[in-house]
Chain A
Amino acid sequence: MTRPATDFAALLTRLLDARVAFILVGGVAGNVHGSARATYDIDVVYARDGDNLRRLVDALGPLEPYLRGAPPGLPFRFDEQTLRAGLNFTLTTSLGDIDLLGEIIGGGSYENLLPSTLEISLFGASCRCVTLATLIRLKRAAGRPRDLEVLAELEALAEESDRS
């Protein structure tokens, strides 16, 4: 079955409107910096304090989040209790796929990563995204062979940004 295209704008707007504290990482962060590679989901590192978990549930709850790749019919409930009991969630929603990361390899938690971010303007709101240098470091830390080609593009992007 073909996955529906993630509506990046609508999904991010929901998080921003609900004032969820999150940082863009992964492929979408690469695109924010100018990458030309396609990605099908949104990866965010989110703050795990109680208020933010509530905002996250308010923002995504109506979109029927479910564990991506899991068989249908599991008793999965997207609520504060579930978020508190887990850490990283790969979800599918009615607006597309989103990965909620409580921690990321090489970068740690939201608070750890915050000094390595920049603020960008997206869809009428302000959004935090990792810097290009940090994104490169995170990809290097992940150490996945499939990321080598991604890293080549991100590093080329850093060179081009320095030139322009």
Chain B
Amino acid sequence: MCAQKARVDAISLEPNPVIEAYKKDIDRSLLRENLKLTPEQRLLKLQDFVRFLVAVQQAGRAATR
């Protein structure tokens, strides 16, 4: 168990240039809004979003049949 724990902690969090490059395009306003919510509210928001995405996908498929 200690060896496994050490393994998790041993993974480097040093800045990675590729990740840093991607970071410039992150919309931080979305993150700040989410941080105002509780974990449960964040999951319910995800639920609504995924339901919307699935509905859009279904509508798109129906329109191209």
- Chain A positions within 8 Å of B, measured between CB atoms, are 2-9, 12, 28, 31-36, 38-40, 106-109, 111-113, 115-116, 120-123, 129, 133-134, 136-138, 140-141, 148-149, 151-153, 155-157, 160-161, 164
Contacts and interface: CB of A to CB of B under 8 A. Distances in A.
Given A116-B5, A149-B22, A156-B23, A106 B58 contact: no
A9 B61 contact: no
Q: Which 10 pairs across A and B sit closest by C-beta, in order of nearness?
A: A152-B22, A112-B4, A108-B4, A34-B34, A137-B11, A36-B30, A5-B54, A152-B23, A156-B26, A32-B39
A122 B43 contact: yes
B54 A4 contact: yes
B8 A35 contact: no
Contacts, number: 122
Given A2-B58, A112-B8, A137-B11, A148 B19 contact: yes
B12 interface: yes
Given A2-B61, A153-B26, A156-B23, A9 B8 contact: no
Given A112-B1, A152-B26, A120 B39 contact: yes
Give the size category of B's interface with A: 35 or more
Contacts of B25: 152
Contacts of B19: 148, 151-152, 155
Interface string B30-55: 11101101111011111101110110
B13 interface: yes
A160 B26 CA distance: 12
A40 B47 CA distance: 9
Nearest to A10: B47
Contact of A156 (B4, B31, B58, B61): B31
B7 interface: yes
